[in-house]
Amino acid sequence: MLRIENLHARVEGKEILKGLTLTVNPGEVHAIMGPNGAGKSTLGNVLSGRDGYEVTAGTVSFNGIDLLALEPEARAAAGVFLAFQYPVEIPGVNNTYFLRAALNAQRKARGEKELDSMQFLKLVREKLKVMQISDELLHRAVNEGFSGGEKKRNEIFQMAVLEPTLAILDETDSGLDIDALKQVAQGVNAQRSPERSFLVVTHYQRLLDYIEPDFVHVLADGRIVESGDKTLALKLEEHGYAWVREHGEPAGATA
Amino acid sequence: MSQPAPFVDALRATPLPASGIEWLDALRRENLDAFVAAGLPETRMEAWKYTALRALGQRRFVAGDAQAATHAVDSAIFALPGVDGPRLVFVNGVFRADLSALDTLPAGLTLQPLSQALRQDAEPLRFVLSRNEAEPGDAFVRLNAAFAADGVVLKLAAGAKPVAPVHLVFLGAPAEGELAWHLRNLVELGEGAELTLVEHHATSGEQQHLATVVNDIVLRDGAVLRQVVLQQAATGSSLVRRSKLQLGKQAQATAHVLELGGALARHDLRAELAGDGARFATRGVFMPRGRQHIDTQLAIRHRALNTASDSVWRGVADQRGRGVFRGAILVAPGADGGDASLSNKNLLLSPSAEIDTKPELEIHADEVKAAHGATVGQLDERALFYLRSRGIPLAEARALLTAAFCRAVLDDLPNAALREHLAALLAVELPA
């Protein structure tokens, strides 16, 4: 589904990703861990097409298409979703209106029929149940005045409505207390399916107690330096990221 | 003194309207002389600092459109949802009974064209027309006083509260030459009277006329005025307006203003909070695009106890559009307990667009609450990316954010049908 090969990317002239290679198959959950400054957020931003991230080498193929050639909105329509580390507040834009505009823009781009307001409302009601979000949030402006937990839940709620095939969660656990974290994780787990893949970018192992990954990768200095199953996350938790640097070679064998 | 300009020469050579009323003809002559002597304002005057009239000064406008009374006008041009009450329509400055709706006026409402009121009995209008309030730089007020032969006379009796809004329509239409036309509107709301008044500038075909409109609005004690101004003049036309509101005790006025049209549009909006407890709120959007120049000058004077004013204005400039906003609030000595707030936020959608904004606050009283702020910025890149990352195409995302930026201006407009229409109009007019 997603094949990243030898990806190099620069931000403000500084090389952040230095040859990242990763393959994600349908239905898999991959956790990307790493110390601050390793390039974790850069990966999410490059994949979703944010301005200011310059790809200098490498390729990203998503279901056979060249993802990097697409505008951000086309990537979304192709099935890529980024849950932001810092969801943006947009005063004056109603949350429901925004979400319907987004869904219909994607449907239109895919040549599907747009949903009318009744159909959309029905869909939203179904998804609200899953996310345990009060419908009061729907009537407010996008993320405006939301608590940290509400913002993150709103991200996952958007994901539920937009139904991407690849969801990138960028430090979704940051700034959440344990209850909010559990709720968010529950929302994510409810959306796991054989067709949907996840890239879970996180600094801490904590989130992975609730969203169980199939694979864990350690990103350091712009490259994946270690890959393994979920036990790798526990090792990191125990030994810290310095351990990876000393340890060097692929994990698994040395446990 | 400014050098003789074709603009002034042409008007000096234009015959003044003859009313046959001695004091009025003398007044017109006097104002024309004052206008000719002073010429057009120059940019060294504070009030005209950002609006240069050099190009206008080179143009010669003619007076009088022989076809004004007979131009075919499609009434769909000025139809507005939620606005279906009495209506007065002027085409190129000439009253059009055939397009107006004055047959069934609600109780307490007097509404007629100024020309008619003058013919019937000019004397009651003598005081208000003679009141000379031209300040330095008010050349257009002089010009208007010299040439305005028509306009609106609206009087609402004490306690009258007609439900339907009154619709004043000012249309420009193509003519032989480039016209200068002038209208003077006199509005008076009696004690405790309430009215919704829609001032609507529109166009029935592209033209490059100059129009001046002077509004003189008086609210007696406890009167309530809900004013909506929709300015959609022809993109080649010049429109200079001066509105003066005088508010008595506990009087309340709100003005929702959309400034969309005109090549050069200048609006001076002045409010005198003269009675204790008077309240004035303005909400406005100005949106210069192409090569449009839209200049709004807001002057609010708190002159009595416990008066309140609240102004929220948004500017959106695209292409080579130029916006000017000045919000001057004065709290006079003795006007204690006042509350004045003003916010003007502006959005530049192109590198060649420009907006000059200047809030001014002058407080000479005690226990005054005052807040003002102005910003000029661009669309939030983070918000744009957020919308796009959800699948919303760039142009749509820009339009969505720009509309959101202007939303606060219409939120509290009580006429829902009109509010929705104006919001939709903004969405259409917004540069994508």
What is the pLDDT, as a whole number, of residue A2? 96
A37 at B interface, C-beta within 8 A: no
Residues of chain B contacting A73 with CB distance shorter than 8 Å: 388-389, 391-394, 397
Whether B71 and B153 have beta carbons less than 8 Å apart is answered as no
B193 Cβ partners below 8 Å, 6+ apart? B108, B156, B157, B158, B159, B160, B161, B220, B223, B224
- Residue of chain A nearest B407, judged by CA positions: A92
What is the pLDDT, as a whole number, of residue A235? 83
Q: How many CB atoms lie within 10 A of CB B357?
A: 20
Residues A22-49 pLDDT 10s: 999 999 999 999 888 888 889 999 999 9
User: How far is it, in rounded angstroms, from Cα A9 to Cα B375?
Assistant: 35
Give first-to-last CA distance, chain B, whole Å.
44
What is the pLDDT, as a whole number, of residue B136? 67
3-state secondary structure of A84: coil
3-state secondary structure of A102: helix
CA atoms within 13 A on the CB side of B292: 27
User: How far is it, in rounded angstroms, from Cα B30 to Cα B20?
Assistant: 16
Please provide the average confidence, as pLDDT, over all residues in chain A. 90
What is the pLDDT, as a whole number, of residue A231? 87
User: How far is it, in rounded angstroms, from Cα A255 to Cα A241?
Assistant: 15
Q: Do B400 and A101 touch (CB under 8 A)?
A: yes
User: How far is it, in rounded angstroms, from Cα A242 to Cα A218?
Assistant: 11
Q: Do A51 and B385 touch (CB under 8 A)?
A: yes
B269 closest CA partner among B231, B232, B220 = B231
B389 at A interface, C-beta within 8 A: yes
CA atoms within 13 A on the CB side of B304: 19
User: How far is it, in rounded angstroms, from Cα B156 to Cα B172?
Assistant: 28
Q: Looking at the complex, report in whole angstroms how far the Cα of residue A239 sits from the nearest Cα belonging to chain B.
A: 36
B135 at A interface, C-beta within 8 A: no
Could you tell me the two tokens for A113? 């029929």
Q: Looking at the complex, report in whole angstroms how far the Cα of residue A38 sits from the nearest Cα belonging to chain B.
A: 22
Positions in chain B whose pLDDT score sits under 70:
1-4, 132-134, 136-137, 431-432
Q: Looking at the complex, report in whole angstroms how far the Cα of residue A104 sits from the nearest Cα belonging to chain B.
A: 9
User: How far is it, in rounded angstroms, from Cα A97 to Cα A142?
Assistant: 9
User: How far is it, in rounded angstroms, from Cα B52 to Cα B40?
Assistant: 10
Mean pLDDT of A217-221: 92
Instruction: Map out the domains of chain B as residue ranges.
Output: 5-275, 380-432
Q: Looking at the complex, report in whole angstroms how far the Cα of residue A46 sits from the nearest Cα belonging to chain B.
A: 12
Residues A227-239 pLDDT 10s: 999 888 888 878 8
What is the pLDDT, as a whole number, of residue A7? 96
B348 closest CA partner among B410, B400, B402, B408 = B402
Instruction: Give the single-character DSSP code of A251.
Output: S
Size of the A and B interface in Cβ pairs below 8 Å: 78
A111 at B interface, C-beta within 8 A: no
Could you tell me the two tokens for B251? 């009087």
B381 at A interface, C-beta within 8 A: yes
B386 at A interface, C-beta within 8 A: yes
Residues of chain A contacting B390 with CB distance shorter than 8 Å: 76, 81, 98-99, 102, 105-106, 158, 162
- For A41, A83, A223, the CA distances from A200, given in Å and listed in that order, are 11, 10, 16
| ipTM computed for the complex | 0.94
User: How far is it, in rounded angstroms, from Cα B346 to Cα B261?
Assistant: 18
Residue A250 has pLDDT above 50, yes or no: no
pLDDT band of A245, cuts 50, 70, 90: low
Residues A104-120 pLDDT 10s: 999 999 999 999 999 99
Q: Do B387 and A49 touch (CB under 8 A)?
A: no
Kindly report the pTM of this predicted structure: 0.86
A72 at B interface, C-beta within 8 A: yes
Residue A246 has pLDDT above 70, yes or no: no
Burial annotation B282-319 (CB, 10 A radius, 16+ → b, else e): bbbbbbbbeebbbbbbbbbbbbbbbbbbbbbbbbbbbe
B311 Cβ partners below 8 Å, 6+ apart? B281, B282, B283, B284, B298, B300, B327, B341, B342, B343, B344
Residues of chain B contacting A103 with CB distance shorter than 8 Å: 391
A91 at B interface, C-beta within 8 A: yes
Q: Do A106 and B380 touch (CB under 8 A)?
A: no
The residue count for chain B? 432
Q: What is the 3-state secondary structure (H, E, C) of A193-224?
A: ECCEEEEEEECCHHHHHCCCCCEEEEEECCEE
Q: Which of A75, A92, A103 sits opposite B408 (nearest CB)?
A: A92
Max CA distance (Å), chain B:
71
Which is more confident, B232 or A179? Answer: B232
B235 closest CA partner among B264, B212, B258 = B264
Q: Looking at the complex, report in whole angstroms how far the Cα of residue A123 sits from the nearest Cα belonging to chain B.
A: 17
Q: Looking at the complex, report in whole angstroms how far the Cα of residue A175 sits from the nearest Cα belonging to chain B.
A: 20
Look-up of token digits 């949106």: B287
Residues of chain B contacting A48 with CB distance shorter than 8 Å: 389
Q: Do B390 and A98 touch (CB under 8 A)?
A: yes
What is the pLDDT, as a whole number, of residue A128? 87
- The H or E element that residue B417 is part of is helix B416-429
A143-147: Cβ within 8 A, 24+ apart: A143/A87, A143/A88, A143/A89, A143/A90, A143/A95, A144/A89, A144/A90, A144/A91, A145/A89, A146/A87, A146/A89
What is the pLDDT, as a whole number, of residue A254? 36
What is the pLDDT, as a whole number, of residue A248? 54
3-state secondary structure of B12: helix
What is the pLDDT, as a whole number, of residue A35? 85
Q: In one letter, which amino acid is B408?
A: A
Residues A181-203 pLDDT 10s: 998 899 899 999 999 999 999 98
